[in-house]
Structure 1
Amino acid sequence: MTQILEIEISTDKDKLQRDKIYQFLSEVSYWSKGLPWDVFDRSIENSLCFGLYLANGEQVAFARVITDKATFAYLGDVFVTPAHRGKGLSKQLMQAIDAHHELQGLHRVLLATADAHDLYKQFGFTPLGAPDRMMERHNKAAYQQH
């Protein structure tokens, strides 16, 4: 029997449980360990953020989109807390992001993932079509410089 969870997905930054998000990103995630609070706070303020909440108000998932809302977006910091994985919440979060009115008609949306390729494939993401055209500048020590 599949359990149906009552959830809310919101882009209201006032609802975000920032301490919980920060703890996950800076201590649990593989991509932003050691993230300084001030960098985290700026990232929230300058992004379109999605929080997923249970009926009791507990935030159990998060994602943020960095975008010009016209041509380009980068999807990042997507997570579901470990206790709530395997319940379809990541798919519901991605559906809400996909449907958001400010993210329609974009020319390109990028993301990076080490382990969620199957999830993102369901939403049209593919490996880079022309990786030889893409470049990056990756400062691995950025969080240690604060």
Structure 2
Amino acid sequence: MKPNYFISKDKSLLNVEAIQEFIANSYWGNNRTIEDVKTTIEHSYCFGIYTTENEQIGFARVVTDYIYFGYFMDVIILDKFQGKGYGKKLVAFMLEDPIIKNLKTLALKTKDAHKMYERYGFNKIGDSALWMSVDKQILE
């Protein structure tokens, strides 16, 4: 069966207005403006998930040095697509991306999605209620 979605790193496909509206109304978005969102997209490694008709389902970005560290940010699924497994598909895709897969440390902050990220190897950091990471760096 052909999937009813696709994931792309092509920033030209992103519906920046839909992304900004969702983020600006989120608990972490701080009323982020459209210009703020455009700037964060410009300076991040981005992923979009879409219907086969190119409608934005979700978005995520990674702030990274492309060698050692990646910080997952703004991982979202638009309201009408939530609860259908798209978030899991997006995160799984991101973790299999060649650049992300080779990073030594991944980090993120979440208030409410710990269980989802734990299934992908993220662990809570110290006594923080928000920070999680995957650390593949071997210290000698």
Normalising by structure 1, report the TM-score. Answer: 0.82
- Residue 123 (structure 2) aligns with: 126
- Deviation per CA, 1:53-88, whole angstroms, max 9, x where unpaired? 011211011100000110000001011112111111
Aligned alpha-carbon RMSD (Å):
1.8
Write the letter of the residue equivalent to 2:68.
T
Which protein shows a greater Rg? Answer: 1
Task: Tell me which stretches of 4 or more aligned residues in structure 1 moved more than 3 Å.
Answer: none
Kindly tell me the number of residue pairs found equivalent between the two proteins: 128
Q: Aligned partners of 1:7 and 1:22: how far apart in 2? A: 21
Larger strand proportion, structure 1 or 2?
2
Give the Å deviation of 1:104.
2.1
Structure 1 unaligned spans of 5+? 135-146
**CA deviation after TM superposition for structure 1 residue 37, in Å:** 2.4
Query: Aligned residue for 1:16?
Result: 14
* Aligned position for 1:90: 87
In the other structure, the counterpart of 1:108 is: 105
Name 2:5's counterpart in structure 1: 7
5+ unaligned residues in a row in structure 2: which ranges? 132-140
Distance 1:18 1:51 in 2: 11
Structure 1 vs Structure 2: percent identity of aligned residues? 34
Separation of aligned partners in 1, 2:3 and 2:101? 27
